[in-house]
A and B are shown apart, each in its own frame.
Chain A
Amino acid sequence: MWRLRQGRLRPSVCGMEELRRRQREREAALRKARREQQLVSKRLLRDDSQEEAGGGCVAEILGEAEVQQFLQLAQRGTEEKEREKALVSLRRGLQHPETQQTFIRLEGSMRTLVGLLTSNQALLQLEAARCLHELSHSEQSAVAEACLPATSYLLTYLSGHSSDFIELCLYTLGNLIVESEAVRRQLLPQGIVPALAACILSPHVAVLEALGYALSQLLQAKEAPEKIIPSILGSTLPQHMLRLLQPGPKLNLGVAVEFAWCLHYITCSQVNNALLITHGVLSTLGLLLLDLAGAVQRTEDAGLELLACPVLRCLSNLLTEPAEEAVGGPLQLGDERIVAALFILLQFFLQKQPGLLPEGLWFLNNLTADSPSFCTSLLSLDLIEPLLQLLPVSNVVSVMVLTVLCNIAEKGPAYCQRMWPGHLLPSLLNTLAFSDTEVVGQSLELLQLLFLYQPEVVGSWPWSPIHPALKPPVSLWPSFPFSPNYSCFSRPG
């Protein structure tokens, strides 16, 4: 159930160090792209077996004459095998951006391709669809827009009979959607939402994963909150998404990942989260979180964080909805197993993906902020020490850990008493010496609460001589950059 469908990556001749360096550079570039809101993700399906059978030769760029020739042969050839081969050659050429440009500039090329896509010969249809898929992968929105004549047919085929073909159409649509607003503007009146709502009933896992991908691309559009999400919420899609996220033997990780991301894009848009709550989203995702925590203990498989991340994001944002408190269900979000699950996941993140720790701690903040019950759970389950162990990870993590500790301490003496003694004091002494003013500020807030509610702390404090750690914060006292709401969630300098 928890196995991710692994693709076959081409073996690299580089050493591990080189690979890591490239990976770091790549991630830095991606972070930059994300900050500039330029991060565009696409999925490319390529038939590796066919390419290997072809001798592994690298596809060449095709010139205008060649593109024209292949198109004519595909359209008018007498032998079906010949026609198919022509399309395969065209498809290989279309792996190159130059060939893509040549193709879209050639008059009648898309009309011919669409004609082949809608012919009654399955193998030609499939190859034509593969050509479109290559085009959909282009980073030029002009190429995506050149595919506009094909979209109504791609949608029509979603209710067809070949699951492989449907899968291909869905990935193609997903790629086109993310690339061009013109495509999205056309697809909505063409009925993409009802088409997806019908397609989500498919029993085929590959189709569902592809559908989730296409839907996630649609939901990420900048105009989604106004123009797309309302009709998604008005359809049967939300119930089916939640069905596909139910933990149990039928859960498929690849499918769940896609729909979890879909839900994340919907929930953070805040169009109508109350509706999702009435559909039982809290219960479903809460139970899924418990299941994930169980799974990370049992398996070394990569990929579980890909699902944990969007699930945590959804739950955390949904906790800020007023409707949340009113709803019961199989998993009340007062259930302290959620806290146990979260800490198991935090430990997992620390090992596999430390960059996800802030997200996990954000969820912990939202759980504990207004909940005496969850604060008590942290104390009774002895989770203060593990929390303190996260302090050295980074400034951001430190601030968030300290914020959670403040959430507990601010509830009064009964809570402070249980936080004390342990490693809290030495940890605070450390954090007060941090150079980051937010860390220091949050440490002082916590210290103040402890002094107020647990006077014995004052006696334990190393007052004399004045501890060197206290000197810098004292001098900074008047000028703390206290912003009331989100300071704990900003990046350190």
Chain B
Amino acid sequence: MQLPPALRARLAGGPGAAEPLPVERDLAARAAPFRFAARRVRLPREHELFEDGDVQRHLYLQDVLTQVAEAPERPRRAFPSGHLLDAHILEWHDSLFQILSERQDMYQCLVEGCAHKFRTSEDRRDHMVRLHLYPADFRFDKPKKNRGPALPGPGAGEQLDGDAMEVSCEPGTPSAAPAGGQQACSRRIPSTICFGQGASRGFKSTKKRNKQH
């Protein structure tokens, strides 16, 4: 297919529309048996005109073997998402949250984009299971268990298996942050919560922490 040399220059040139030639139709043009009418055509997705393009798209998806990169340095955060982290910090470590939750619905739905709030984490769980079809044992929403005023010793209380979302500052400063469920110790924001830029946060498993006590 030979294209006129000026065409490439036109593409590279500035925008502009051609001044249209005068249109002058004769009614006789559509006298039977001639029925041509210029019209724009809309094609649905399954139209056979799209067959070749769709097959090429399929081959492209199926045939490209993409190399998965090596796992990056082990991330310090085992926490799954920023959204959940924010919810967690608020609910577990914010003393104001505790006070307010006694008077109003403070437990926000954990699904990104859902604005519902609930009185208790159990209510929230019910909502997530019913409405968002989350599993009833969704691991990132363990309810607080009120263990009363006593501090837990090693091995006491439930094994949270890394679900307890503790926050501590790097590097390895022993954290005074309580393990989850310490109603008595959550009356103040633990000094080891780090805010602002430059502070990195990491998570330590409660299992290890308990062993240190």
Interface residues of A in 340-378 (CB under 8 A from B): 340-341, 343-344, 346-347, 350, 353, 355-356, 358-359, 362, 365-366, 368-377
Chain A interface size, as a band, is: 35 or more
A377 CA to B18 CA, complexed, in Å:
6
Q: How far is the CA of A451 from the CA of B168 in the complex (A)?
A: 87
Contact of A369 among B12, B35, B38 (CB under 8 A): B38
**Does A59 count as interface, using CB distance less than 8 angstroms?**
no
A382 to chain B: which residues have CB within 8 Å? Answer: 4, 6-7
Task: Select A189's contact among B7, B44, B59, B132, beta carbons within 8 Å.
Answer: B132
Residue numbers in A under 8 Å from B2 (CB-CB): 385-386, 389
Stretch in B76-84, B94-102, B176-184 touching the partner: B76-84
DSSP class of B's interface residues: helix, strand, loop or mixed?
A: loop
Cα–Cα distance between A445 and B35 once the two chains are bound (Å)? 8
> Per-position contact with A for B1-34: 1 when CB-CB < 8 Å, else 0?
1111011101111011111111111101100011
Residue of A118, A213, A341, A442 with most partner-chain B CB within 10 A: A118
Distance A417 CA – B135 CA, assembled complex (angstroms)? 72
Min CB distance B40 to A, Å, is 4
Inter-chain contacts of A250 with B (CB < 8 A): none
Known A159-B112, A372-B21: A341·B38 in contact at CB below 8 Å? no
Cα A7 to Cα B49 with chains together (Å):
29
- Evaluate whether A412 and B67 lie within 8 angstroms (CB atoms) in the complex, with A27-B55, A356-B52, A482-B33 already known: no
A159 with B83: CB separation less than 8 A? yes
Q: Which residues of A contact B43 (CB under 8 A)?
A: 268, 313, 316-317, 362, 489
* Cβ of A449 under 8 Å from chain B: yes
Residue of A nearest to B63 (CB): A9
Query: Of the candidates B50, B65, B69, B132, which one forms a contact with A191 in the assembled complex, judged by CB atoms under 8 Å apart?
Result: B132
Q: A198 contacts the other chain (Cβ, under 8 Å)?
A: yes
CB atoms of A156 and B24 under 8 A apart: no
How many Å lie between the Cα of A50 and that of B30 in the bound state?
A: 69
Is A429 an interface position by the 8 A CB rule? no
- Report whether B1 and A386 are in contact in the complex, using a CB–CB cutoff of 8 Å: yes
Of all chain B residues, which has the CB nearest A156? B80
Residue numbers in B under 8 Å from A7 (CB-CB)? 63-67
Q: Which residues of A contact B70 (CB under 8 A)?
A: 49
* A319 with B17: CB separation less than 8 A: no
Decide: B62 and A41 in contact? CB cutoff 8 A. yes
A313 and B3 contact, Cβ closer than 8 Å, known pairs A337-B10, A373-B20, A413-B24: no
Residue B48, interface by CB 8 Å: yes
Contact B38–A368 (Cβ < 8 Å): yes
Contact of B112 among A121, A194, A347 (CB under 8 A): A194
B15 near A331 with CB under 8 A, answer yes
Any chain B CB within 8 A of the CB of A85? no
CB pair B42 A194 closer than 8 Å:
no
Known: A336-B17, A355-B56, A412-B23. A126 touches B38 (CB 8 A): no
Chain A residue at smallest Cβ distance from B47:
A489
Say yes or no for B203: interface residue by CB 8 A criterion. yes
Q: What residues of A have a CB within 8 angstroms of the CB of B44 in the complex?
A: 268
User: Is there a chain B Cβ closer than 8 Å to A48's Cβ?
Assistant: yes
**From B46, which residue of chain A is reached at the shortest CB distance?**
A37
Closest to A121 in B: B78
Q: Assess whether B150 is interfacial by the CB under 8 Å rule.
A: no
Chain B proximity mask over A464-476: 1 for CB below 8 Å, otherwise 0: 0000000000000
> What separation, in Å, do the CA atoms of A31 and B50 have in the docked complex?
10
Q: Are A414 and B24 in contact (CB under 8 A)?
A: yes
Residue B138 at the chain A interface, CB threshold 8 Å: yes
Cβ-closest chain A residue relative to B45: A268
Check A35 against B51 for contact (C-beta < 8 Å).
yes
Neighbour of A123 across the interface among B11, B25, B50, B74, CB < 8 A: B74
| A–B Cβ pairs within 8 angstroms, 6 of them | A41-B62, A42-B61, A290-B11, A362-B43, A382-B7, A410-B37
Enumerate the 8 nearest inter-chain pairs by beta-carbon distance, A residue then B residue, closest first: A355-B52, A194-B113, A120-B78, A372-B20, A412-B24, A159-B81, A120-B162, A334-B17
- 17 new A-B contacts, CB < 8 A, other than A320-B40, A442-B36, are A7-B67, A45-B66, A121-B78, A162-B72, A162-B75, A268-B44, A309-B57, A317-B43, A332-B15, A341-B11, A372-B21, A381-B6, A411-B25, A415-B21, A449-B29, A489-B43, A489-B49
